[in-house]
Structure 1
Amino acid sequence: MSNQHLGQIISGDIVVIGGGTAGIAFVASLLKREPGLNITVIEPSAQHYYQPAWTLVGGGAYELKSTVRPMSVVMPRRAHWLQAAVSHINPESRLLTLDDGRHVSYQNLIVCPGLRLAWEKIEGLQAAIGQYGVTSNYSYQHAAYTWQLVNGLRGGKAIFTQPAIPIKCAGAPQKALYLSCDHWLRQGVLKNLDVEFNLAGAALFGVATFVPPLMKYIEKYRARLAFNSTLVKVDGPSQTAWFSVKGAADEVTLQAKKFDFLHVVPPQVSPDFIRQSLLANAEGWCEVDPHSLQHVRYSEVFALGDVCSTSNAKTAAAVRKQVVVVAENLLALRKQQPFLLKYDGYGSCPLTVEKGKVILAEFGYAGKLLPTFPLDPTVARRLAWYLKASFLPWFYWNGMLKGREWLTRVSKVD
């Protein structure tokens, strides 16, 4: 902590915590509506990442370098960027404490710092990842290693894991499996591999409509599903993974499994400064109304993105629609007008079931199907692959982060 800044108070009007997808897209959209607003963005990272493409990187279908740009390039010019991290929030006094000792006051607070990947919750993982055949598409540092391993594997045991939800894009763990298996099948080596998918939950996918078409691919790739199986420990040198497995009578056993390839998805939690604040619910997420995205106890606070307590899928597609709702509702609040828009829980998960084909799963609260296009959403299509691999990355950098609200029709308050 710097003594130079200790106790300094910065006065902010609209303060946004986080310069990820939600933060940048929200600020850009808000400034499109009212260019004269005084907005401060607090974000420690010097880099901005397009994380949805890391699955494609791990499948050999995308360049890693295309998923990152300098934060200074994507930050809206009219916003004031504080390159620091928030360490404490006091919503009673509308005051934030930064890690360098400064304080920031606010009139309105927009909470969107994302979530934290809790690698440390799996014993031995941090020492093993990036070597010994242990990798993860959830990491910029390791997505390319996934492809290196997949491309080089000719036989043995390949294990894919999925922790308990909520996680970023609950379909991403199985996307890694599908793209890997598709490559092994095309190379003629899948028959030499024992592929296993260990899921902490009891279902392949949270929306039942998409389970049958996904099961066809599980069968095509001869992958075995191990439900209620949670990765708890990894030993890299011995290439052994331990899973906590819950049985039919809720009894828990520890099972050791040898591997040649291990794709790990880490447990995911709310950032400490949110979890330990008065903004959090019992599970540690920022507690907002699921439709207005306004905080349930502090009316001047809104949240969007992965940190929200809402039950939607934590995806960039969800953010695309949340941005419109929060921008409009914030401006209505500041003008003492009623809210006109509501969020319906929309999220999208483009399931890359093979290289060149995607099942475009779009759904809202309670698993309600919300397709953008008038096509059967359970069918794997080349058009959806183009959308995932080409259009959406282009639109992300050139549209969404610049406040262009395409494909963002949202519901009106009844």
Structure 2
Amino acid sequence: MGSIGVMSYGIHAQQCANILKSGVHRGSCRSLHITGRYAAKEYYDVVVVGGGAAGITMSSRMKRKVGAGNVAVIEPSEKHYYQPMWTLVGGGAKQLASSERSTSSLIPSGVKWIKSEVKGFDPDKNSIRIDDDKEISYKYLIIALGIKLQFEKVKGLPEGFQYPKIGSNYSVKYVEKTWKALQDFKKGNAIFTFPNTPVKCAGAPQKIMYLSEAYLRKTGKRSDANIIFNTSLGVIFGVKKYADALLDIIRERNIQVNYRHNLIEVRADKQEAVFENLDKPGETKVYQYEMLHVTPPMGPPDVLVNSPVADAGGWVDVSKDTLQHKKYPNVFGIGDCTNLPTSKTAAAIAAQSAVLDKTISLVMKNENPTSKYDGYTSCPLVTGYSKVILAEFDYSQQPLETFPIDQGKERRSMYHMKADMMPFLYWNLLLKGYWGGPAPYRKLMHLGFK
């Protein structure tokens, strides 16, 4: 369908906007390209902001709900990464290339990919602003913008990454540097950090620590290494069952844990890391390192901060049960960018997508959402090159386990699930909108007893 110069037909841009809002003759206005001094405006039944795990998943589900041509995904990046694999990339067990696909190959056919950044939200007018001040209008909006890495909040970063001995599994730029630092380790402190902010995959900062310890043991360097975990938290893990199991491993492997220690500066030229003691304001300690793995501070994407769809902290303000926005009933949030009080993981996104799908179905029928998200999330805690503790839990920080075995124990089977089965499930089921988490299978696995 060709584009029409609106001004040549004498239609004012605002008139078109009114037509779009009314829902009449939507098809004729959807592909309008407005020339002259008016910005172009497009309309879709569903607009998904963000092309990460949550965004692609929901675009697949929404296409089946409202049909091809009626859904758009706004995402500037040409590459999409399966980020849970980066733990294994940093530990030398997987190649970075195997975590990458092109965004174009993942956008469902019939869904419009708008390759742009979102510049602002105007939920009162059912529109968002993108590059070149272009406006996109919607009937329903799903915000899936993820979380922002904030290396710059640590003095000396990100410029410190130009030096050796330092890496981060959280960034495509620095994950391979983690593996290089591990291979080049000779003697001294191997330090792993956890920041004083929300993070995605809260287990990942220590997963690489266990892999590094195992690698150093395998290569005969363990006796020359001090493994140190400096965490801003007051506990090793938020769920007691798994925390107890991890503490046993930490004792067995002679790992030093310093709680309430937050990284504030990296002096990469001197191989020094500076930590503040959160329980004693103003007190700092300098550590020399031979290897440093940085988990960066994280926060909401800039476009959400102070926006009408966000809470005071900058996170999308949604109901923890339905994922519907608390103020705007045709706006929804999913994944890391929301204020849902659960861990930010791909497993959480899977469970949320199933609930959100049902929520939107009912809202589209002018009915009240009834399906409730229980806060399910999962963290495969990699504790070695063939060992995983599969942590699964809910809002109440209580185990919500799928398998009829004790998941608080290290298991080789769970490692293979993490390394081999989960990537397959991600690419072939989750992103295509066919995987909503293990809830339907949990009762089956426990023979109806759970």
**TM-score strictly above 0.5:** yes
Match of 2:157 among 116, 120, 125: 125
Please, what is the CA RMSD of the aligned residues?
1.7
Residue 289 of structure 1 is matched in structure 2 by 319
| 2:46–2:62 contact (8 Å) kept in structure 1 | no
Aligned to 1:306, the other structure's residue is in SS state: helix
The CA distance in 2 between the partners of 1:408 and 1:28, in whole Å, is 19
The answer to whether the Cα contact below 8 Å between 2:147 and 2:301 also exists between their aligned partners in 1 is yes
Determine if contact 2:359/2:371 at 8 Å carries over to the other structure. Answer: yes
User: Are positions 1:252 and 2:282 aligned together?
Assistant: yes
Aligned to 1:398: 428
Identical aligned pairs, as a percentage? 36
Secondary structure of residue in 1 paired with 2:254: coil
What is residue 298 of structure 1 aligned with on the other side? Answer: 328
Change (3 A) 1:101 1:183: same
Post-superposition offset of 1:34: 4.8
Which residue of structure 2 lines up, in the alignment, with residue 219 of structure 1?
251
Match of 1:364 among 394, 400, 406: 394
Superposed counterparts of 1:76-155, under 5 Å = 76-155=108-187
Alpha-carbon distance in 2 for matches of 1:257, 1:368 = 35
Shift in Å at residue 6 of structure 1? 6.4
Gap change, CA 1:181 and 1:254, over 3 Å in 2: same
Encode CA deviations 1:338-363: one digit per residue, 9 max, x unaligned.
Answer: 32311100100000011101000000
* 2: CA distance, partners of 1:365 / 1:142: 32
Which stretch shows the higher mean deviation, 211-220 or 353-362?
211-220
Give the aligned residue type for 2:125: S
2:233 to 185, 188, 201: 201
Following superposition of structure 1 onto structure 2, how do residues 13-412 of structure 1 map, counting pairs within 5 Å? 13-36=45-68, 38-247=70-279, 250-405=280-435, 407-409=437-439
Distance (whole Å) between structure 1 residues aligned to residue 435 and residue 98 of structure 2? 22
Q: Which segment is superposed worse, 103-112 or 92-101?
A: 92-101
Deviation at 1:404, TM superposition (A): 1.8
- Matched-pair contact (CA < 8 Å) for 1:243–1:255: yes
Distance 2:232 2:36 in 1: 47
Query: 1:54, 1:137 within 8 Å by CA — same for their partners in 2?
Result: yes
Q: Contact 2:322–2:370 (CA<8 Å) still a contact in 1?
A: no
Structure 2 CA distance for aligned equivalents of residues 234 and 20 of structure 1: 30
Which letter maps to 2:407? P
Question: Structure 1 CA distance, aligned partners of 2:130 and 2:36?
Answer: 13
Q: Is the 8 A contact 2:69 2:112 kept in 1?
A: no
Cα contact 2:376–2:392 (8 A) shared by 1: yes
Q: Which amino acid letter does the alignment assign opposite residue 230 of structure 1?
A: N
For residue 125 of structure 1, report the CA deviation from its aligned partner.
1.3
Q: Deviation of residue 325 (structure 1)?
A: 0.9
C-alpha distance in structure 2 between counterparts of 1:253 and 1:110, whole Å: 43
Give, in whole Å, the separation in 2 of the partners of 1:252 and 1:342.
44
Q: Secondary structure at the match of 1:387?
A: helix
Gaps of 5+ in 2: 1-34, 443-450
SS of the residue 1:96 aligns to: strand
User: How far apart are the structure 2 equivalents of 1:30 and 1:408?
Assistant: 21
CA displacement 1:9-32 (0-9 Å, x = unmatched): 112221100000000011112334
- Distance in 2 separating the partners of 1:251 and 1:136: 27
Distance 1:363 1:34 in 2: 33
Give the counterpart letter for 1:60 in structure 2: G
352-361 or 189-198: bigger deviation: 189-198
Q: Distance in 1 between matches of 2:370 and 2:66?
A: 17
Shift of 1:260: 1.1
TM-superposed CA distance for 1:336, in Å, is 1.2
How many angstroms apart in 2 are the aligned matches of 1:104 and 1:29? 20
Secondary structure at the aligned position of 1:159 is classed as strand
Q: Distance in 1 between matches of 2:248 and 2:187?
A: 23
TM-score (ref. length: structure 2): 0.87
- Return the alpha-carbon distance in structure 2 between the equivalents of residues 68 and 232 of structure 1: 31
Q: Alpha-carbon deviation of 1:105?
A: 1.1
Higher relative contact order (CA 8 A, sep 6+): 1
Q: What CA distance in whole angstroms lies between the structure 1 residues aligned with 2:437 and 2:123?
A: 34
- How far did 1:372 drift? 1.2
SS at structure 2 position matched to 1:168: coil
Q: Which runs of 5+ in 1 are unaligned?
A: none
Relative to structure 1, is the Cα distance of residues 408 and 377 closer, same or farther in structure 2, using a 3 angstrom cutoff? closer
Distance in 2, matches of 1:127 and 1:121, equals: 12
Residue by residue over 1:214-266, the C-alpha shift from the partner in whole angstroms, topping out at 9 and shown as x without a partner, is 0122123211111111101111111111111123xx44312111111110000
After TM superposition, the score normalised by the length of structure 1 is 0.95
Q: Secondary structure at the match of 1:12?
A: strand
Check whether the contact 1:169–1:315 (CA below 8 A) recurs between aligned residues.
Answer: yes
Q: Quick one: distance in 2 between partners of 1:180 and 1:215?
A: 17
In structure 2, C-alpha distance between the alignment counterparts of 1:42 and 1:31, rounded to whole Å: 15
Pick which of 389-398 and 28-37 moved more. Answer: 28-37
User: Aligned partners of 2:430 and 2:162: how far apart in 1?
Assistant: 32
One-letter amino acid matched to 1:401: L
Equivalent in the alignment of 2:26: none
2-side partners of 1:62 and 1:217: how far apart? 24
> Which string of whole-angstrom CA distances, capped at 9 and with x for unpartnered residues, describes residues 115-142 of structure 1?
1001110011111114231110001122
